[in-house]
Amino acid sequence: MKCCRCPYPASAWMTFEYSASRIEMFELPDESDGYGGYALCDRHAGRMTAPVGWNLVDSRATMLTLFPVADIVSPAMPAVDVA
């Protein structure tokens, strides 16, 4: 299955719930499930934002992060060597 916005492989599924003003992101369903919605690649799923007054609910199990947690060190909380 390809992304609905580009030729890359899809990795997420997006649906709109108009009555609740909500956009929901899910894991990619089996093609045979026949869900109504839109397939998105990692890039487009990661950039998705909700319009003003709407909520974006991301229910995917795996979420991409900009920086790995191990790379973040706060000056207020220096790294501690646990021996």
Is 23 inside any structural domain?
yes
Identify the segments of the chain with pLDDT beneath 70: 31-35, 62-83
21, part of any domain: yes
At residue 34, the pLDDT reads 58
Which domain covers residue 26, as residue numbers? 12-62
7 in a structural domain? no
Would you say residue 1 lies in a domain? no
pLDDT at 35: 64
Q: Is residue 78 part of a domain?
A: no
Residues 6+ apart with CB under 8 A from 60: 12, 25, 26, 27, 45
Number of domains in the chain: 1
The answer to whether 57 and 68 have CB atoms below 8 angstroms apart is no
User: What is the Cα–Cα distance from 54 to 47, expressed in whole angstroms?
Assistant: 15
* 9 bridge partner residues: 2
- DSSP character for 60? -
The pLDDT assigned to 36 comes to 80
- pTM (predicted TM-score): 0.65
Q: Is residue 41 part of a domain?
A: yes
